[in-house]
Amino acid sequence: MSLSPAPVSPPKPRVRFAPSPTGFLHVGSARTFIFNWLYARHKRGTMILRLDDTDVERNTEASVQSIFEGLKWLDLSWDEEYKQSERGELHRQMAETIFQKGLAYRDFTPAHTDDSEKSGAQGTWLFNPGMRELSREESDGRAAAGEPFALRFRVPREGGQLVRFTDAVYGEQMKSAVDIEDFALLRSDGMPTYHLASCADDADLRISHIIRGQDHLTNTFKHVLIFEAAGFTPPQFAHLPLLVAPDGTKLSKRRHGPVVSVTTYRDAGFLPEAFINFLCLLGWSPKNDREQMGRQELIDAFSLGGINRANAVVNFKEFSKPDVGRAPSPADLNPEETFDPKALWLNAEHIRALPVEDLSARLLPIVREAGFNLTPEKMLRITPLIRERIKLLREVLAAADFFFVDQLPPYDPAELIPQKGDAAMALRVLKRAKEVLAIVEFKHDALDQTLRTAAQELGVKAGQMFQPIRVAVCGRKNAPPLFETLEVLGKDVALARIDEAIRKIG
């Protein structure tokens, strides 16, 4: 009897999110992070955050903070963290390895000593024969003399070689090597280019799957050459469809304003879990076409096979135009006129699905930040009354403002007049309400019975009784259910506001 060897489990995936800190956290970058995170958690792998911060001229500390601020709000953790700027020696070692194999050469041409790869009238620069064919002895001598140079990859140009890779989303990809320029690995100042630094880090960190935007698809041919030249097997690639505006243009801050920034959604009152849910449905779909999904449901359902090839449209509208000479800001955004309707719908659904205690805890900081010193206990009583009435967390300030203030803002006394009634009817209703509410217990059932009885005694319909009271205590017709509202406001506040309404209409 022989024992079969135990099956060997495949290595757990290692994925990375590698933002360049040259601006705020873009919604497209956030989606890339989320897809990497979901894949890692679904496969019980490792999620790595790596700041690709080697572009020292464009990197800013404010951008770094914006990235971390946005990721902190999403509340999705990572397992390892690195800064590309601290790994320069590793990058130069890979460049040296490729150079020593004869797969890279020094380019001393002044116009090519940076990482530019396009020149000439047609923008079709591929290589400089004089530099590519320079003898090693002359190259070493000129370098030793201090002449600046860029280190360029020697793309194979003989034998009709094809560069191939299989993308998990777009399938088999191939390109003739002769159509790829001799791209830079190191600039003349010794700094690595994006191509080299990214590949060196991915190889060193043992990245198994590179999940990134479709705009990197063409770069991948160069990256495959780098990995193979340095002696590494390229990772599995999966390129994500782009996020585009309704007119088909790629989302950009310059063109589309604050609606492409993650913190805009946070500040508008989106729940992070709803925002994640929304971004996931832009370019990916579960097999059963579900839409509202929680975090664990997304983890369980996520697969690279569910990613679509077509670009995903974010159906926002143009934001309100700011004053001339002033840059647009989140304050210029009208939610109903700006954000994608599906984003608003999903957020409302997630709000309704939250336990009242959880929702109340999220609303309280917004209320207090607006200057209202509300207790957690009172916020907990208000929350069930407005949960069905808000799509965004910040809408609590408009939906429940009458609970927070001591005195209502001015309103039109005509609002007090009930349907098919007149001012005299409104006055009779309010006076009778003041009498009966002064002696009734402020509990739902008691209030309900007392006010309905009063309506019968006055010979008016229940609705004609309730509307003047609702407007008197809330300052408007559109408000939460009356009896629950009275119960939360309390007897003293309700009677004082009814008194004020009687003065207005009298």
State whether residue 302 is helix, strand or coil.
coil
Q: 83, 175, 250, 253: which is the annotated catalytic residue?
A: 253
Q: Shortest CA distance to 99 belongs to which of 226, 224, 194, 188? A: 226
Q: Shortest CA distance to 468 belongs to which of 427, 504, 412? A: 427
What is the distance between the alpha carbons of residues 154 and 167, in angstroms, rounded to a whole number?
A: 24
| In contact, 53 and 21? CB cutoff 8 Å | yes
**Tokens encoding 239:** 């390129």
What is the distance between the alpha carbons of residues 190 and 143, in angstroms, rounded to a whole number?
A: 12
The one-letter amino acid at 285: S
DSSP of 232-248, one letter per residue?
-PPPEEEEEPPEE-TTS
The total number of residues written for the chain in this structure: 506
What is the distance between the alpha carbons of residues 111 and 119, in angstroms, rounded to a whole number?
A: 9
| In contact, 166 and 173? CB cutoff 8 Å | yes
Q: State yes or no: is 222 an active-site residue.
A: no
Q: Shortest CA distance to 364 belongs to which of 343, 381, 349, 347? A: 381
Task: Name the strand (E) or helix (H) holding 460.
Answer: none
| In contact, 275 and 74? CB cutoff 8 Å | yes
What is the distance between the alpha carbons of residues 303 and 305, in angstroms, rounded to a whole number?
A: 5
CA angle 189, 191, 197 (to 5 degrees): 160
| In contact, 232 and 203? CB cutoff 8 Å | yes
**Tokens encoding 79:** 């397992």
Coarse DSSP helix, strand, coil percentages of the chain, rounded to the nearest 5 percent: 50, 10, 40
| In contact, 479 and 472? CB cutoff 8 Å | no
Q: Shortest CA distance to 208 belongs to which of 17, 8, 29, 12? A: 12
Task: Name the strand (E) or helix (H) holding 181.
Answer: none
b/e string for 383-393 if b means 16 or more Cβ within 10 A? bebbbebbbbb
Task: Name the strand (E) or helix (H) holding 259.
Answer: none
Q: Shortest CA distance to 25 belongs to which of 215, 258, 183? A: 258
Which letter does DSSP use for residue 391 in this model? S
Residue whose token pair is 């006010």 = 451
Annotated catalytic residues are 253
